[in-house]
């Protein structure tokens, strides 16, 4: 009952705060799969994963068994994000994105599947961000301040698959050590096109791939409830760490501290 009430209230608030300012239309689709090097799709995967793992923990805390917690709690985010896509489908400004819905499904499935098979998250999806130089060229799109930049500037976002090495092989210590593979991009002033600045600088969208170490914060032992809660929250974010980067059209670079 509480979940249904929260779901309804969230959708009502979303409609009033966001969609009420835009014209409505008949339901239609919008194909944005080629935009922003697909980084926005990784954002959907990550958001669905966060919602799914949070839902699973909430339902376990409420007393549900492992299977029900995974299937019911893990699906809540998928249902909510899917409803948002339907809202987009009736908005003149956007449209229902099949790519977004597939990404939502992948994120939820990663969380649910691992919990059903292993009762834990051997691979965690994480996020990191550092301000990029590109936001100043189109702040109305990429963010007018740092808070907006975190959400809008795809140049500064990196999405990670972080694997706990001790879960894979118990001989590997410490037990909280992870190996992380990341994906990001640069040069994105527009969603697809190159950009030439007033100074004659040419920016081309380029994919970037990362390899780094990380920490599984939930595997750090603590007897204090507030500390365990903090570690759960921290586990959705990649720890700044040295990284190897392969850039599309370029070689291998070493970043001494990638955020």
Could you report the per-residue pLDDT of 240-255, keeping only the tens digit for each? Answer: 999 999 999 888 999 9
Report the DSSP pairing between strands 177-186 and 123-129: unpaired
User: Considering the entire predicted model, what is its pTM?
Assistant: 0.90
Close Cβ partners of 136 (under 8 Å, ≥ 6 residues apart): none
Predicted local distance difference test score (pLDDT) of residue 143:
94
Q: Give the single-character DSSP code of 154.
A: G
Give pLDDT < 70 ranges for the chain. 1-22
pLDDT digits 0-9 by tens, 52-90: 999 999 999 999 999 999 999 999 889 989 988 888 888
Residues 4-13 as b/e (b if ≥16 CB within 10 A, e otherwise) read eeeeeeebee
Torsion sign (Cα): 190, 193, 194, 195? negative
């Amino acid at each position: 009952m509480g979940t249904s009430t929260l779901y309804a209230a969230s959708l009502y608030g979303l409609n009033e705060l966001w969609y009420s300012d835009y014209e409505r239309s008949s339901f239609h689709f919008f194909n944005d799969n080629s935009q922003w090097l697909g980084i926005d799709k990784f954002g959907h995967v990550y958001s669905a994963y966060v919602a799914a793992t949070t839902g699973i923990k909430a339902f376990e805390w409420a007393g549900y068994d492992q299977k029900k917690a995974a299937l019911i709690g893990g699906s809540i985010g998928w249902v909510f994000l899917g409803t948002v896509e339907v809202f987009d489908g009736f908005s003149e400004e956007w449209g229902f994105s099949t790519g977004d819905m597939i990404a939502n499904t992948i994120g939820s499935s990663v969380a649910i599947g691992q919990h059903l098979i292993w009762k834990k998250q051997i691979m965690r999806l994480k996020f990191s961000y550092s301000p990029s130089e590109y936001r100043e060229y189109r702040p109305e799109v990429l963010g007018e301040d740092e808070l907006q930049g975190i959400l809008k500037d795809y140049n500064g976002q990196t999405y990670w698959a972080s694997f706990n090495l001790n879960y894979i092989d118990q001989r590997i210590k410490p037990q909280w050590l992870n190996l992380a593979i990341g994906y990001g991009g640069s040069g994105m002033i527009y969603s697809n096109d190159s950009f030439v600045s007033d100074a004659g600088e040419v920016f081309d969208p380029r994919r970037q791939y990362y390899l780094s170490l990380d920490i599984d914060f939930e595997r750090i032992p603590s007897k204090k409830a507030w500390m365990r809660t903090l570690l759960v929250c921290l586990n959705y974010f990649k720890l700044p760490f040295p990284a190897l980067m392969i850039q599309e059209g370029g070689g291998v670079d070493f970043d001494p501290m990638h955020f």
